[in-house]
Structure 1
Amino acid sequence: MRLIIDGDGCPAKKEVINLAKKYQVEVILITSLSHYSDYSDCTYIVVDNLPQAVDMAVINRVQKDDLVITGDYGLAAIVLRKGAHVVSPRGKIYLEKKMDELLLRRHLAQKERRSGGRFKGPSKYTVSDKERLLSVLERFFRRKKEIFAENN
């Protein structure tokens, strides 16, 4: 199991990487050039600023049972189909059975915006969002560690 972070949409990268290190989980952080920072304590991949470049890099690297952090519903749907697990930067666990509804809502919102409609954006990322994410990750890492120990 590895942790793959869509770095363009995860505000808590440093905290997530530190938590993964605590549980000895390999971390792959993928960002575009416009979100570049220095992360030497993980595998750090920087891609072009092209649309969907980070998504394609995640898709090409994800494997069954990996855990991916992304806020992109389209990427989440593809990752789930590959047998990986997905959580949002706010700690929401994505389930395959809910993806059709989320993708439909995204499509309808895009259609409304194209026709001149307006939607309120996401709320500001809060400390409680970060805490929820770290809590979900810690539960996941503990469970995976216990399962690994039982099978060896």
Structure 2
Amino acid sequence: MQILVDADACPAIVKDILFRAGPRVEVCVTLVANQYLRTPPSPFIKSVQVPAGFDVADARIVELAVAGDLIITADIPLAAGVLKKGAHALDPRGEWFSAENIEERLTIRSMMDQLRSTGVDTGGPSPYSPRDGKNFAAQLDRFLAKYRASRTK
């Protein structure tokens, strides 16, 4: 199992949480971005830089993902792609993407895109809050605890 991170827009606090969690549970954390990202020195943390371009990082994450991996992303189409491969997808606010909710999220995203294309100001996500970071950390801890328990069986 590895953790792949859609790192271009990932909040710094989420990366910091992952930088501590990966080495603690000996799971590789890979940041994928179209820019250079500095990472702490650790055999469990690395970054992959991809060329600039629309969805290039997303395509690389889908390519790297295998069943059982954990993908950190707020990108709904990317989450859908990795779920199809049997990976898990968690957004930086601590909300899980799942087979049960991904179609609804894709539909809402499409509807919002259509509204924006007609000039409607749909706003955007609320600012990332400390509560979001706590939710993310709690969900990650639960997931990693289950992972560790499955390795010891």
Do 1:7 and 1:30's aligned partners in 2 also have CA atoms closer than 8 Å?
yes
Map 1:100-111 → 2, pairs under 5 A: 100-111=103-114
The equivalent residue for 1:5 is: 5
Q: CA deviation at 1:17?
A: 1.8
Residue ranges of structure 2 left out of the alignment (5+ in a row):
none
Q: CA deviation at 1:27?
A: 1.0
Number of equivalenced pairs: 148
Of 7, 22, 36, the match for 1:20: 22
How high is the sequence identity, in percent, across the aligned residues?
28
- The answer to whether structure 1 residue 62 and structure 2 residue 65 are counterparts is yes
The equivalent residue for 2:146 is: 143
Distance in 2 (alpha carbons) for counterparts of 1:9 and 1:128:
18
Q: CA deviation at 1:37?
A: 2.6
Distance in 2 (alpha carbons) for counterparts of 1:57 and 1:74:
13
Map 1:2-151 → 2, pairs under 5 A: 2-11=2-11, 12-33=14-35, 36-39=36-39, 40-41=41-42, 42-150=45-153
Do 1:19 and 1:134's aligned partners in 2 also have CA atoms closer than 8 Å?
no
Q: Once structures 1 and 2 are overlaid, which stretch shifts more, 135-144 or 13-22? A: 13-22
Distance in 2 (alpha carbons) for counterparts of 1:48 and 1:96:
30
RMSD of aligned alpha carbons? 1.0
TM-score normalised over the length of structure 1: 0.93
Give the AA of the match of 2:17.
Answer: E
Q: CA deviation at 1:108?
A: 0.6
1:104-125 CA deviation, whole Å, 9 max, x = no partner? 0000110111111111110111
Q: CA deviation at 1:127?
A: 1.1
1:57-82 CA deviation, whole Å, 9 max, x = no partner? 10110001000000000000110010
Do 1:4 and 1:30's aligned partners in 2 also have CA atoms closer than 8 Å?
yes
Q: CA deviation at 1:14?
A: 2.0
Runs of 4+ that moved beyond 2 A:
none
Residue ranges of structure 1 left out of the alignment (5+ in a row):
none
Determine helix, strand or coil for the equivalent of 2:109.
helix
Q: CA deviation at 1:141?
A: 0.6
